[in-house]
Amino acid sequence: RHYRDPEFGPSALALHLGVSLRSLQRYFEPLGETPGQRLLQLRLTQAHAELSRRGPKEVAVADCAYSCGFNDLSHFYRAFRQRYGMTPGAVVAQARDGGAIVQ
């Protein structure tokens, strides 16, 4: 749940877990990713889920980005497009139109 805080990065995660940042990095090495990359993926997954939720009210992309821990919209848009191959707005439009959502 802390990953939604834009100030919660690898150092804060290590502190929260009671380990050194270097120990946390060593833990992630066999996984082939860094703690920062993992936090980014968690945030993107949450944003995608919120944007693809069908409902009576559309989710504002900027509000979703901020609530998922992004404090830089251009970074959010780039990372989202790189991960999902489409813009956040396209995901909202697909959900609104009842189209298939790509995970």
CATH homologous superfamily of domain 2-97? Homeodomain-like (1.10.10.60)
Q: Tokens 């970074």: give the residue.
A: 75
Mean pLDDT of the region 42-60: 84
Q: Where are the domains of the chain?
A: 2-97
User: Would you say residue 8 has pLDDT above 90?
Assistant: no
The pLDDT value recorded for residue 67 is 92
* Terminal CA-CA length for the chain: 21
Q: Which amino acid is at 12?
A: A
This prediction has a pTM of 0.81
**What b/e string do you get for 50-78 counting C-beta neighbours within 10 Å, with b at 16 or more?**
bbbeeeeeebebeebbbebbbeeeeebbe
pLDDT for 102 equals: 53
What's the pLDDT at 30? 93
